Amino acid sequence: MDHFLYRDGALFAEDVPISEIAAAVGTPFYVYSTATLLRHFRLFDEALEGTDHLVCYAMKAASNQAILKTLAQAGAGMDVVSMGEYLRAKAAGVPGEKIVFSGVGKTELEIRTALEGGIRQFNVESEPEMDVINAVALSLGKVAPITVRVNPDVDAKTHAKIATGKSENKFGIPIARAGAVYAHAASLPGLDVIGVDVHIGSQLTELEPFRLAYRKVAELTETLRSEGHDIRRLDLGGGLGIPYTRSNEAPPLPVEYGQLIQEELGHLGCEIEIEPGRLIAGNAGLMVSKVIYVKSGEDRDFLIVDGAMNDLIRPAMYEAHHDIVPVLEPAPGVEPQPYDIVGPVCETGDTFAKQRNLAPLQAGDLIAFRSAGAYGAVMASEYNSRPLIPEVLVQGDQFAVIRRRPTFDEMINRDTIPEWL
């Protein structure tokens, strides 16, 4: 459920008409709903009620500080994967003890920055990384809390580019080697080994892969405990999928996911951490764009819109589907017609949808790409020298620009020209 609904024929974000935001900031832009962000965060928080837990929002999904602050004020921790994310979370006021550091390639600088600024734990992804964290911690006179991310060799049954839990993926250490790796970790004085971490992929639309992975984590936890490790925290990753179409998809709900966690892991008495990103932000955001031209091709009509693959890369990169809706609700009975919806970037890949049925549109009409709140703005680029598009946050009847559109000069003047030219 989200808060982007038609009222009297016009699309609203909570209590603000989308057309009003478009008039104020120009198109294209991203708009997020505070109520939807909070609702989705609370679904997870409530799903783990009764268990000692922390929901660490995977801020790679949407990392604007206003979004982070909204969630942090509701009690969320953060899952970060880079120094930039770590510093951004800190800048948004998230305390170090609520920040988890994930990612396969943490550098010494990143590790030192997090140890100095405060960190809840590092999720360690390899033996060499473990040794570096140990060395950096010792050099600072600190002890680094860690979990080890294990690769359970489970098929997440999602798009190959976002599946992470199979043995051929670069993530985690093979679960079969976990005993040796934990023994090594325990021998390192700069580390405090507190738990186990797993994350098998993103946009999972079934619970079964989670069950298989968590069952392996439970077995591993018992083995590790019997070997003398004080495993007290389980980080279960993110990955719960969202409906990208309004009609026929019904991925499992956070409450069902919470029940599964309880069933598979409850008996261990561990503190539970989860790292959802997409489910919190995905359906809390739209990308709004304007039709520039309607162009008749040989056998089809193209809607050429002012948003492009550099602004929302998911369709080009993952063949992802985003529902596209007109900002003015079509009158009842209007016959839809098929369009190819494309951006102005000079690649055929800059196609958002093919032969999508929409009520007839004209140049100047506004459309909204739904489910664009996660992995939308954060994956944008300036390809074709198109400045990053603004982000807007709505709360009730208020809205605020939370990242403004840069000027062309700001974008161009980042280049420097060598003296010899």
Residues near ligand LLP (CB under 6 A) are 58, 61, 79, 102, 162, 199, 202-203, 237-239, 275-279, 314, 318, 374-375
| Buried-state track 161-178, b at ≥16 Cβ within 10 A, e below 16 | ebbbbbeebebbbebeeb
What is the distance between the alpha carbons of residues 18 and 26, in angstroms, rounded to a whole number? 11
For the record, the structure tokens of 233 come out as 């925290």
Q: Give me the residues paired with residue 53 across strands.
A: 272
Q: Which is nearer to ligand LLP, 214 or 375 (CB)?
A: 375
Tokens of 103: 């990612």
- Cβ(117)–Cβ(92) below 8 Å: no
**Residue 146 backbone dihedrals phi, psi, to 5 degrees:** -135, 155
Region of residue 286 (phi > 0: left; psi between -120 and 50: alpha; otherwise: beta): beta
What amino acid occupies position 134? N
- Looking at the Cβ atoms of 169 and 384, the one nearer to ligand LLP is 169
Query: To 10 degrees, the CA torsion angle through 159, 160, 164, 167?
Result: 140
DSSP state of 134: H
Closest to ligand LLP by CB, 35 vs 162, is 162
Q: How far is the CB of 182 from ligand LLP (least distance, A)?
A: 19
The region that residue 26 occupies, defined by phi over 0 for left and psi between -120 and 50 for alpha, beta otherwise, is: left
User: Smallest gap, in angstroms, from Cβ of residue 1 to ligand LLP?
Assistant: 18
Beta strands in 109-190 (DSSP E): 121-124, 144-151, 173-174
Q: Are 134 and 111 in contact (CB under 8 A)?
A: no
What six digits make up the tokens of 169? 């993926």
Instruction: Report the distance separating Cα 119 and Cα 138, nearest Å.
Output: 15
Please identify, using beta-carbon distances, which residue of 58 and 231 lies nearer to ligand LLP.
Answer: 58
CB closer to ligand LLP, 277 vs 285: 277
Q: How far is the CB of 60 from ligand LLP (least distance, A)?
A: 6
Nearer residue to ligand LLP within complex by CB, 113 or 202? 202
In the complex, what is the shortest distance from the CB of residue 278 to ligand LLP, in angstroms, rounded to a whole number? 3
Quote the least distance from Cβ 10 to ligand LLP, whole Å.
29
Residue 7 corresponds to which amino acid? Answer: R
Query: Strand 391-395 relative to strand 77-80: parallel, antiparallel, unpaired?
Result: unpaired
Q: Which is nearer to ligand LLP, 102 or 361 (CB)?
A: 102
Closest distance of CB 236 from ligand LLP, Å: 9
Q: How many CB atoms lie within 10 A of CB 415?
A: 6
- For the four alpha carbons of 54, 183, 214 and 236, in that order, the dihedral sign comes to positive
Residue 270 annotated as catalytic: no
**Active-site choice (1, 250, 331, 346):** 346
- Minimum Å gap between C-beta 408 and ligand LLP is 28
Residues forming the active site: 346
